[in-house]
Amino acid sequence: METKEFHYRAYRPRPFTKEERSKTTILFGGLTWKHERLIQGSLERVGYKSMPLPNIERQDLDIGKEFIDVGACCPTTFTAGNLARTLMTLREREGEEGVKNNYLFVTIGACGPCRFGQYHESYERVLEGLNLTDFRLFLLDLMQMEQSAPGGGLEISMPLTFGLVYSMFYADLITDMEYAIRPYEVVEGSTDRVVKESIELLYEKLKNRPIKGKKIDSLVWHVFTGYFVDALKEVRRLWDEIEVDRLRVKPKVKITGEFWLQTHEGDGNYNIKRWLEKEGAEVIPPPVAVWMDYLINMELFKLEDAKGFVKRYYLKKLAIGTIASLYRMVYNRLRRALNNIPNPLPDQRKLKDLARPYFYYRLTGGEGHMLIGKALYAYLNRQAHMICELSPYGCLPNTMSVGAMAKVLGDYPDLLYAPIEIKGDAEVHAYSRCQMILTEAKRRAKEEFEEVLERTGLTVEDIRNFEEDHPELRRATYKVPHYGYAGTASNYVMHIAKLMGRI
């Protein structure tokens, strides 16, 4: 009938069946190569062939712009362009039928009016533009574990979900180690080498992990097993070998900002983390795990607001509260296996309270209040000398919280804050803005270090001599406690002073 033909219909992927699993490769992307490699291991264990998209490159921005409607935020454009480039390459290699039948793309989404919630609308433009509307693109919502794509080929099961959670935790922890160690490595390149080895080792562990049960039994196993911790203990031995020199005085720069941009490592954010390191800084990268923690805790906060209106309030509170604590417990166990070098997850309640005068926590979308909460937390707890805030061009929520920072800066004029707008093609401008604040951060790091030397009465030479007798101090996995200074070198001096019995 004519009515049916003539109206426009939204894109619907054709089904993906169980039988196709062994012949079809799942494409996915959006995170760092470390996260993606580990996700690959997790997927392979439950029977999927998979392949991460290639690293984001500058050209993806231009490709993306060609396909999607004007006015998209920079992460959408980059990722859409990346998908387009991949599909074009595959088509060249395997022909149109090959792309359509041998591959499908999965993106995680569905959580609100911007961000992931609408990414796939832009990806559909890519398929239209490439004349590949038969290609399958699935949107999965990991928060609802039951959801699966039509056809039954993609099944979100407990073992898969937990595999993905561990992939994320692992990659976050290794990334934390990486950025804490590389600026201090004695042999250049040793950190990068160990990162690669660690990820490969963990990939194998995820790929060969035992599958114990399917539902609650699987949950219990994943939460309490020693399997994942033991794997990290092996990893720790790799890191033990790296020698570091913690007396290099470096400003610590905490990265915050929009989810994709802050976690990204590549042209998508001008490779800003590596650039900062090159400029002499130590970077604190943001773990993906914080964002999941935020989502879980938001459920808890919302529930607390609705007390008196919700049936079985205490039971629900207990349930969400338990999930929240188990989540942290698992993360902390893994951190411990790496001698607590990776940073702990911030306390979500604290972030919320810190941000409260400036940004109301129920305003969700993007990082919500976290951007402000994290900046204040780092400043007040002397975690970093400076905050580098990555804001994508054309972002909806991020622009709002960056604007709200104006008042924060009025109240804390000493907070070093560098909001960097990432447009994809304004690299020099971004670097030079960052450089300005970084110069001040360097000065502060130096001042702080001198103050510590004076306070402890130690000289660099004293410390070097002490190190000679205590070579374990120069191990990457040696944990230096926090003595209230932002800089690694300052805390290190304090620590040595303590060991010497001077304080």
Q: Which residues bind another protein (CB under 8 A)?
A: 1-4, 6-11, 68-73, 110, 112-114, 117-118, 120-122, 125, 128, 139, 305-306, 309, 358-360, 362-366, 394-397, 399-410
Output 269 or 398, the one with its CB closest to ligand SF4: 398
What backbone phi and psi angles, to 5 degrees, belong to 469? -80, -20
Q: Which residues pair with 367 in a beta bridge?
A: 365
Residue 263 makes contact with ligand SF4 by CB under 6 A:
no
CA dihedral in degrees (51, 52, 55, 56; nearest 10)? 120
Binder among 37, 45, 115, 495 for ligand SF4 (CB under 6 A) = 115
Q: Give which of ligand SF4, another protein, none residue 258 binds (C-beta under 5 to 8 Å, depending on kind).
A: ligand SF4
Binder among 32, 40, 42, 76 for ligand SF4 (CB under 6 A) = 76
Q: Which residues contact 340 (CB under 8 A, 6 or more apart)?
A: 479
CA distance 81 to 193: 30
Please give the helix or strand (H or E) that residue 464 lies within, else none.
Answer: helix 460-469
Q: Which stretch binds ligand SF4 (CB under 6 A): 37-45, 55-63, 311-319, 389-397?
A: 389-397
Residue 366 makes contact with ligand SF4 by CB under 6 A:
yes
> What is the identity of the amino acid at 407?
K
CB of 373 to another protein, least distance (A): 13
CB of 81 to ligand SF4, least distance (A): 14
**If you count them, how many residues does the chain have?**
503
CA distance 280 to 282: 7
SS3 446: helix
Residue 114 makes contact with ligand SF4 by CB under 6 A:
yes
Output 191 or 391, the one with its CB closest to ligand SF4: 391
Q: Give which of another protein, ligand SF4, none residue 190 binds (C-beta under 5 to 8 Å, depending on kind).
A: none
Q: Which of 31, 295, 331, 39 is nearest to 160 (CA)?
A: 39
- 3-state helix, strand and coil shares in percent for the chain, rounded to the nearest 5: 60, 10, 30
Please give the helix or strand (H or E) that residue 205 lies within, else none.
Answer: helix 190-207
Q: Give which of ligand SF4, another protein, none residue 213 binds (C-beta under 5 to 8 Å, depending on kind).
A: none
CB of 261 to ligand SF4, least distance (A): 7
Residue 398 makes contact with ligand SF4 by CB under 6 A:
yes
Residue 205 and residue 231 in contact, taking contact as beta carbons nearer than 8 Å: yes
> What is the identity of the amino acid at 229?
V
Output 185 or 265, the one with its CB closest to ligand SF4: 265
Output 260 or 331, the one with its CB closest to ligand SF4: 260
Distances (CA, A) of 11 to 29, 126, 140: 21, 12, 15
CB of 107 to another protein, least distance (A): 12
Distances (CA, A) of 502 to 405, 450, 453, 493: 41, 17, 12, 11
CB of 465 to ligand SF4, least distance (A): 51
Binder among 60, 176, 178, 258 for ligand SF4 (CB under 6 A) = 258
Output 43 or 72, the one with its CB closest to ligand SF4: 72
Binder among 395, 430, 437, 473 for ligand SF4 (CB under 6 A) = 395
Residues near ligand SF4 (CB under 6 A) are 73, 75-76, 114-115, 258, 260, 366, 392, 395-398
